[in-house]
Structure 1
Amino acid sequence: MPRQNKTNTVITIIFISFITFFANNTVIVPDIMESRNIITAREMVYDGHWLVPTLNGDLRLEKPPLPTWITAVAEIISPDSLALQRGMAALAALLLVFYFYKFTRFMPDINPMVATMILCTCYSVILMGRTASWDIYCHAFMMCAIYYLCKGLTLPGCSWKCFIVSGIMMGFSFLSKGPVSFYSLLLPLLAAFAMTNRPSLKRKGKGILVTVILCLVIGLWWYAYIYAFHPEAMAYVAEKESGAWLNHNVRPWYYYWKFFLESGVWSLLLPTAILLPVWSGDDRKNKSYLLPFAWMFIMLVLLSLFPEKKTRYLLPLLIPASYLMGYLITLWEERLRYKSVFKTDKILFGINSWTLAAVVFAIPVAAWIFLYTPGYITLTVMILFAAVIWAAAIMLAIYARKLKPVKMVATVLALFLFAELFAMPSLKNVINNPEMNSISKTRENQQLKGVPFFYNKENPLRIEIVYAAGRVIRPLTVTDKDSLLQKLPCVVITHEPVKKELPDIWDSADSLFVGTYDDNRWAKRHHRHSSEFVYNVTLLSPKEK
């Protein structure tokens, strides 16, 4: 590829990724996974717990620390900046997209930009790339490792650069979420790549050995450190995590049968791509089709065999799935130019494109009912929103009639970029609770500066409350009056009024009611509104004599 074209490609990928993962990334309130990561990062920065991470003052060894270290760097650069904390995850998503694009060198019959556009419009990829959790990091590092490993295996001789970079990135992946990406992304890829490309290992043994050694050294040094200094805690966590894999969220083997729905807007295109060999026999022999198909199928089988199942575990599956859909769109772009096109291709493209156009056309109607009528958006916003969406629907209809599959994908991408740039801010009160009165407001209360926070040990504390409060909140044994009095002055957070929940201390301390705070993501009228997120905050101090 000429240098100018490479530059334009990089700029295009950065542009798409910036809007997809960075723009308006603070609209959604952090969930439990993000809260854990950000709290641990805070305690690294402010309490110095870099090598032995803690969560709300307790050891947090369930997850390797690399993503949290990266989040902690964001905290150092700009304290309490959710945009930057999520921006670090967005950089990982950018890394994933970039090496996803580059990996198409092994599938020459796929238009790399088409496959990339499809990946950047898959729901799970967008969500994970916009949140400061672990998943995007391990898969991004692994995608980079896979690219250099496969490149090293296919180049003549031993490419030390490829094997060294691959080993480093595998180590980073392990240091991000343990063996998760090795099992779900690397292992299926190696099996599929061996079946379709059959790379020669001649003169590559030393390079592969270097990859393995670097991966083990980088990936395992932290575990070795924890085992050396906290062996009991490490043993407990290992038993707990292995038990969770086998006993928590156990689902039947067919639980992932709806895997294609994780692609979101492409939920119809993905099954179409999977069934391509049914009407087009020549494609079943094409390596550009076989590699992503085998990669995805083996991955789906391995994930289905694992007892613990969650839909977010399907995130890596969208990588080969996007290649598969990219192959189909590239194939259609070539075939639909000619009158000799298979009738089946024409019919299936029509079903996909006209369905997309119809769904997009219906979006403003749904917005009128669910957004404008309840008062979430103004009439002006509604009109502008409808105009853009209907314009996109018309374009999709035109491309459906003129048989333009690549332009159809580009229109869907443009629609997503518009939503991420302009629609997200307007939907803030729809996605979140407009009535939220967050405990984060206590951060600005001067009376509470430097005062320790406690909660009733008998009532489990949601970790999201710790994130919002921006401080450690330790458990309190409410029946131990003497111990409690020794902690004064302190702040206690209780579901019930402090007089009712802590009667033993009520008469022995002076109290100042600070307020009632509700950190529910859902409004009170919603069935998912929970009292677990509602707390009374009270400042207790020694009783004046």
Structure 2
Amino acid sequence: MNIVDVRSNVGKWILFGLVLCCTFFVNNKAIFVDIMESRNMITAREMVYDGNWLTPTMNGELRLEKPPLPTWISAIVEYVSPDNLALQRAMAGLAALLLVFYLFQLGKLLTHDRVFSWITVFVLCTSYNIILMGRTASWDIYCHAFMLMAIYYLFKALRADVCDWKSFLLAGLAMGLSFLGKGPVSFYALLFPFLCAYLICYRKSMAGKWKGCAGMILLMLVLSCWWYAYIYMYHPEMAEYVWNKESSSWANRNVRPWYYYWKFFLETGAWSLLTLFTLFVPVWEKRLGDKTKSYLFSLLWMLFVVFSLSLIPEKKTRYLLPVSIPAALAVGHLFYYWIRQMRKTDRVGKILYRINGLLLAIVVLVLPVMLYLFMYREQRMSGMALILLSAGLWCIAFCLFYAVKSVRPAYLLGGVVGLFAFAEIFLMPYIGSFVSNAEQKSIALTRNIEELQSLPFYHPASEEIRIELVYAAYRKIRPLDLTDSAAVAVAMPFVLVQSVEPAAMIPEWLQQNACMEEVDVYDDNPWPKGHRRYSPAFIKKVTIIRKK
């Protein structure tokens, strides 16, 4: 390799590193903490401060629904840097990096072509669901990242001519870590569809490999089951309750019709139309040549993921995260063809390319109008910021139009990558402010009131407490039956966090026998008043209650 090639490779990796940094780490505090993140980070806090490393709790109650690996990672971060949201979310970003790395490796293994791998990871890094999950402290990204690692080593072991013990054992290790991340979710949503697609497209002999496969399964079972065995040994009743609850929820909670995921292609964001184009099998079979088999494998893998998820009664759009992985491979084949193989006479290929490119360019062209309507006019953005951001977006739109007109697919891909980097650096803070309550007065302010630091927090047992409030207050807020005089007497002095609704009155006997000092009324609604998501559940009155 000469010095020019070395410099070229170094330049590519530097560029790729900058893209990844923008995708998962820059401005990762811009979006408010949602309910899933609150649950996860509260559990991690209680691991650290209560020592519940093997029996996780949330707001003082056992939380055994989720395996502990991501919580351990979050707890270590909490121990090193308490209450650091950016660092917590950065851990999810690192898991996303692991996923991107193994997609790159899998792309090379599939096609023996590094250019294809680069295209695929750039497509993945500009896919909506991957960006979202890689920028929030949710646990989904962990199990799928470890499972893709397992799939890479399993694919490598299955394609080998001899028993590749190292790859089989690494696959078993990664499967075990995936199970400790979110149970069997990724086994069903990613591994099972992969195996179905593999058996259809590749039929490599298993002769001499069964011992390695058995070793993989044994290692996976040991890593997957030890924590569950521990929980069942020490908390059998709670373990059985959680098992029944979780299995029931898959069948009875958030039930949607089987066709609910028909819009699966929209989860890839900018590549939605291209993901739809990958379904045009007769078009691409004639054009992809030696990459036809890997294209069909990627397409089948994607469709099996959608099919498998559609069989489960419980459905949520975030469950479609694993679709983005084989979708990136499938879309990568289209881009590879356009960049490397498309002939000047290929009218159909150019039509599909231009449809996708023009749509993207038009969307970028009108984005400044959206900024004007929803940001500048609502006084969330200054006039100078609007001018500068509009100029940047119009430059990107011009590049996209040029890429379409001159049929330069690499420029189109680069333009979309540039668009997302631009948005993550310059637009993300404004996107965060779009979901904001100007009148928000968070219960987090109680952290600064010295008088409250030594007092326990309670909420009336007759009212539910939003877990986001527990996260914001940075302490447990336990239920207390205000009609039970003995329990109240034992709890005093304490801080009561209660609704401001007229019905939420303190019992008369307690008013007569206690001193009550109102601290303040707090509103933790992330959405402004008048929005359909604005809820009185986030508005709480905080009162100190002491004995007379």
Global fold match (TM > 0.5): yes
| 1:226-268 per-position Cα deviation (integer Å, ceiling 9, x unaligned) | 0011100000000000000111111111110011111111111
Q: 2:192 aligns with which of 184, 187, 193?
A: 187
Q: 2:380 aligns with which of 376, 380, 385?
A: 376
- Structure 1 position 360, deviation (Å): 0.5
Gaps of at least 5 residues in structure 2 are none
Q: Which residue number corresponds to residue 320 of structure 2?
A: 314
Q: Which residue number corresponds to residue 533 of structure 2?
A: 528
Rounded to whole Å, the distance in 2 between the matches of 1:16 and 1:477 is: 53
Q: 1:428 aligns with which of 417, 427, 432?
A: 432
For normalisation by structure 1, the TM-score amounts to 0.96
Distance change >3 Å, CA 435–CA 199, structure 1 → 2: farther
Q: Which residue number corresponds to residue 505 of structure 2?
A: 500
| 1:165-198 per-position Cα deviation (integer Å, ceiling 9, x unaligned) | 1111100000010000000100111121222122
Would you say the 8 A contact 2:32–2:432 is kept in 1? no
Q: Which residue number corresponds to residue 81 of structure 1?
A: 84
- Structure 1 position 28, deviation (Å): 1.1
Distance change >3 Å, CA 256–CA 211, structure 1 → 2: same
Q: 1:25 aligns with which of 28, 34, 39?
A: 28
Q: Does residue 203 in structure 1 map to residue 204 in structure 2? A: no
Q: Residues 102-251 of structure 1: matches in 2 within 5 Å?
A: 102-108=105-111, 111-251=116-256
Aligned-partner SS, 1:455: strand
Q: Residues 140-539 of structure 1: matches in 2 within 5 Å?
A: 140-278=145-283, 280-281=285-286, 283=288, 286-336=292-342, 338-340=343-345, 342-496=346-500, 500-539=505-544
Q: Which amino acid aligns with 2:267?
A: E
| 1:493-532 per-position Cα deviation (integer Å, ceiling 9, x unaligned) | 1112798344331221111111111111101122210000
Q: Which amino acid aligns with 2:440?
A: M
Gaps of at least 5 residues in structure 1 are none
Distance change >3 Å, CA 315–CA 297, structure 1 → 2: same
Rounded to whole Å, the distance in 2 between the matches of 1:158 and 1:501 is: 71
Rounded to whole Å, the distance in 1 between the matches of 2:8 and 2:351 is: 35
Would you say the 8 A contact 1:330–1:406 is kept in 2? no
- Structure 1 position 162, deviation (Å): 1.1
Rounded to whole Å, the distance in 2 between the matches of 1:193 and 1:377 is: 51
Distance change >3 Å, CA 147–CA 3, structure 1 → 2: farther
Rounded to whole Å, the distance in 1 between the matches of 2:81 and 2:137 is: 15
Aligned-partner SS, 1:475: strand
Q: Does residue 101 in structure 1 map to residue 104 in structure 2? A: yes
Would you say the 8 A contact 1:107–1:287 is kept in 2? no
Distance change >3 Å, CA 4–CA 208, structure 1 → 2: farther
- Structure 1 position 279, deviation (Å): 6.6
Aligned-partner SS, 2:278: helix
- Structure 1 position 357, deviation (Å): 0.6
Would you say the 8 A contact 1:85–1:132 is kept in 2? yes
- Structure 1 position 347, deviation (Å): 1.2
- Structure 1 position 428, deviation (Å): 2.9
Range that drifts further, 140-149 or 274-283: 274-283
Q: Which amino acid aligns with 2:443?
A: I
Would you say the 8 A contact 1:196–1:287 is kept in 2? yes
For normalisation by structure 2, the TM-score amounts to 0.95
Rounded to whole Å, the distance in 2 between the matches of 1:459 and 1:331 is: 59
- Structure 1 position 433, deviation (Å): 2.2
- Structure 1 position 446, deviation (Å): 0.1
